[in-house]
Amino acid sequence: MDCPNCKIPLNSDYHCSSCDFNLNNINWVIIKKVYTPNEMIVKSVLESYGIPARIISKEVAQMPVSIGPLAEVKIAVPETEADAALKLLEELTVEE
């Protein structure tokens, strides 16, 4: 994944060695709620377009099958990328 500031690849802890940008220190906003396995698809699409994404779930490790509210997965992106991410997902949904 590339740094939003200088487009240099971020290291494994989401830190840019070039401009010292750190994705862990910015505000993340939830842009979409999906159900498994769609969260991996949405995250992959966003990251393939250079938009960092995180998956937030209420998964219980002892219960491998999730239903109802426990099955809901939230997709979060940096606040600065939220508009671009929503627009991209909307465009891709319309094309389908």
Q: Tell me the CATH number at 42.
A: 3.30.70
Answer for the pair 8, 1: CB distance below 8 angstroms, yes or no: no
Dist CA 71 CA 82 (whole Å): 23
- The pTM assigned to this predicted structure is 0.73
Q: What is the domain count for the chain?
A: 1
Q: What's 78's DSSP letter?
A: E
Does the residue 17 lie in any domain?
Answer: no
Model confidence over 23-37: pLDDT tens digits?
778 899 999 998 878
Does the residue 72 lie in any domain?
Answer: yes
**pLDDT for position 85:** 94
Q: Domain range holding 66?
A: 27-95
